[in-house]
């Protein structure tokens, strides 16, 4: 009898353990433009690259989240756009039995780290297939970006509280 009770207790404990599962990884949107082709291929000069990265998290259902990395790479020569590449790499992730703080951290750091190799490959292939030299997206420290986001949220929360304290 004691064995049966221990087995039930162990199953209950396993049900409460944090669980993370990748459900699907997919390209949500992709775009590549070379607005000044073919003339731009013969233009002299040093191109300038600008990279923008955004992340969006949405709750699909209870315990299921969509995380989207949106990367925009713009290459300019003087004032002319050489190319514009945009990739929205997404994933569906199941997260269960995480406390709110850990859940936020997982969605803000771990999930983007899972998606990053896919967005890097897609972006690199777009640029190469567009007839341009290879582009290698450098590693991104999502932990540092997340920490910066937490710092900003804390500052905004303090800023929102300060006027109320002054009015009292």
**pLDDT of 15 over the 80 cut:** no
Q: The pTM is what?
A: 0.80
Rg (CA), the chain: 22
Q: pLDDT for 40-94, tens place per residue?
A: 888 888 999 999 999 999 999 999 999 999 999 999 998 899 999 999 999 999 9
13-22, 133-142, 147-156: range with lowest mean pLDDT: 13-22
Q: pLDDT for 146-156, tens place per residue?
A: 999 899 888 88
Q: Is-contact 24 91, C-beta < 8 A?
A: yes
Q: Locate 106 and state its tokens.
A: 């997982």
Q: Comparing C-alpha atoms, which of 49, 57, 60 is closest to residue 124? A: 49
At how many degrees (to 10) do helices 111-129 and 142-167 cross? Answer: 120
- SS3 (DSSP) at 1: coil
pLDDT (mean) for 122-146? 94
Structural domains of the chain, with CATH:
18-158 (3.10.420.10)
**CA count, 13 A, side-chain hemisphere, 92:** 9
For residue 162, the model assigns a pLDDT of 60
Q: Is-contact 65 58, C-beta < 8 A?
A: yes
For residue 9, the model assigns a pLDDT of 45
12-26, 36-50, 131-145: range with lowest mean pLDDT: 12-26
pLDDT category at 12 given cuts 50, 70, 90 is very low
What is the spatial distance between Cα 53 and Cα 37, in angstroms, rounded to a whole number? 26
pLDDT category at 163 given cuts 50, 70, 90 is low
Q: Locate 137 and state its tokens.
A: 């997206």
Q: Locate 136 and state its tokens.
A: 């290698």
What is the spatial distance between Cα 93 and Cα 15, in angstroms, rounded to a whole number? 18
For residue 14, the model assigns a pLDDT of 54
Q: Comparing C-alpha atoms, which of 72, 75, 57 is closest to residue 132? A: 75
pLDDT category at 7 given cuts 50, 70, 90 is very low
Q: Is the omega angle on the peptide bond into residue 38 within 30 degrees of 0, that is, cis?
A: yes
For residue 158, the model assigns a pLDDT of 82
What are the backbone dihedrals phi and psi of residue 90, each rounded to the nearest 5 degrees, phi first?
-125, 165
The CA dihedral of 93, 99, 102, 105, to the nearest 10 degrees, is: 60
């Amino acid at each position: 009898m004691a064995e049966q009770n221990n087995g039930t207790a162990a199953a209950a404990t396993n049900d409460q353990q944090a669980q993370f599962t990748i459900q699907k990884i997919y390209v949500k949107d992709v775009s590549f433009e070379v607005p000044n082709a073919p003339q731009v291929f013969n233009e002299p000069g040093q191109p300038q690259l600008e990279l923008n990265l955004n992340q969006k998290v949405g709750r699909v259902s209870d315990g299921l989240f969509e995380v989207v990395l949106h990367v925009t790479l713009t290459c300019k020569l003087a004032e002319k756009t050489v190319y514009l590449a945009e990739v929205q790499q997404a994933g569906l992730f199941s997260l269960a039995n995480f406390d709110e703080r850990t859940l936020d951290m997982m969605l803000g750091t771990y999930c983007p780290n899972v998606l990053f190799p896919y967005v890097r490959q897609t972006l690199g292939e777009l640029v190469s297939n567009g007839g341009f030299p290879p582009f290698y997206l450098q590693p991104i420290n999502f932990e540092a970006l997340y920490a910066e986001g937490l710092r900003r949220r804390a500052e905004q929360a303090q800023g929102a509280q300060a006027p109320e304290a002054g009015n009292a």
